[in-house]
Structure 1
């Protein structure tokens, strides 16, 4: 009870408003989830969502341990990670575009679904390479946690609470992707879904590539 009373209600309210706005605003995580749901359905896409949450919790842990300030002090190192993530997303987008092309020519059957482990890993890597995630959980989270004793625990509690805020947003976008996939009843429409999936992944790569560790 004493722990919960250590939260500043004004800061918690600000946290909810800020992160709800961030969660529902289409970004790399949303585009990745949409792309995965188009190809794999809403059930397996939960593994993709878990990858996003896992990366966010990783940065929250770094922030709670005081490591986020060190990361923000050496942006060159993170830029390397970022571009590796961008390249990987573009590779996944290429796979979707290739499947669309071969499908339109009647050379390929329905694209094989990814495993849950692969979806988790690719989303974890994507979100881990997203500078906005570093800023949100490395720079903003400490502000909403307040000052004084127990700040690290409050930061982690807020990070876990954000999963409850972000999950409905990602689930909503995954549902939209799944509904779009159900219209793919022919080779041509199936190819169109692959194009949409590839475009979403390429869009996520572009958004990450344009992001930096400099707060606006």
Structure 2
């Protein structure tokens, strides 16, 4: 079977429009990337983006294997994962606020950037605990893939294609965060940037806490 010929052009167009809108709309992933870029720079933040993509692909694989329906049928289990993710994001936010307070006292020290592995894992955990990721890749993706032979392959192809759609959006927000941090040359401005990073992480936690698998 020719994979490209098996796609429905109308559904693919709908997928592009829908996911482009979702990708550029500020959500938990965007806020996490902004917070990471302020503290770690745009280059290292690519590991954070990879964590987001990895979690999305995980749910796409579950959907392709028919397991997402099982997950959607037991929201209580996912709620547990969600709140663990919220708690961890708040912990990260606390660290940024603490750094901001220290900097405001004129005791700022050069912060060591987070490792690429840590950025990847924290973003993977954040996106994995995001109900909107489950809905997008577990519930919406099968619709855009269309029914019939090769549905699972089309779902994975669309999930991979979404990386090309989402990467520019996350890169744009990471660029804004990095540019903003360049102005943090004094202790006061450094404190402001750390506080903003903490606010972004806390905002991501709030957005995840307010979303649910019953949203759609």
Scaled by the length of structure 1, the TM-score of the pair is 0.99
Q: State which drifts further: 106-115 or 19-28.
A: 106-115
Q: How far off is 1:124 after superposition?
A: 0.2
Deviation at 1:149, TM superposition (A): 0.3
Offset, 1:192: 0.5
CA distance in 2, matches of 1:102, 1:60: 42
* Greater than 4 Å deviation, 4+ residue runs: none
Q: CA deviation at 1:108?
A: 3.5
101-110 or 187-196, larger mean C-alpha shift: 101-110
Please give the per-residue CA displacement for 1:82-131, whole angstroms capped at 9, x wherever unaligned: 00000000000000000010111123302221000000000000000000
Q: Is the 8 A contact 2:32 2:123 kept in 1?
A: yes
2:144, 2:7 → 1: CA distance?
Answer: 9
CA distances 1:138-164 after superposition (whole Å, capped 9, x unpaired): 000000000100000000000000000
With 102-111 and 201-210 compared, the bigger mean Cα shift is at 102-111
58-67 vs 107-116, greater mean Cα deviation: 107-116
Deviations 1:44-98 (A, max 9, x none): 0000000000000000000000000000000000000000000000000000000
Distance 1:78 1:167 in 2: 26
In 1, distance between residues paired with 2:110 and 2:96?
11
CA distance in 2, matches of 1:137, 1:198: 28
**Corresponding position of 1:22:** 22
Q: Structure 2: state its 5+ residue gaps.
A: none
Quick one: distance in 1 between partners of 2:54 and 2:215?
Answer: 23
Contact in 1 for aligned 2:108/2:187 (Cα 8 Å): no
Gaps of 5+ in 1: none
CA distance in 1, matches of 2:215, 2:57: 20
Q: Matched residues in 2 for 1:184 and 1:124: separation? A: 28
- Whether contact under 8 Å (2:56, 2:127) holds in the other structure is yes
Instruction: Confirm or deny: 8 A CA contact 2:62 2:68 kept in the other structure.
Output: yes
Superposed displacement of residue 2, structure 1: 1.4
Q: In 2, Cα distance between the equivalents of 1:54 and 1:211?
A: 20
SS of 1:212's equivalent? coil
Contact 2:93 2:198 in 1 (8 A): yes
Provide the rounded CA distance (Å) in 2 between the counterparts of 1:92 and 1:110: 18
Measure the CA separation in 2 of the matches of 1:63 and 1:2: 22
Alpha-carbon separation, structure 2, partners of 1:162 and 1:144? 12
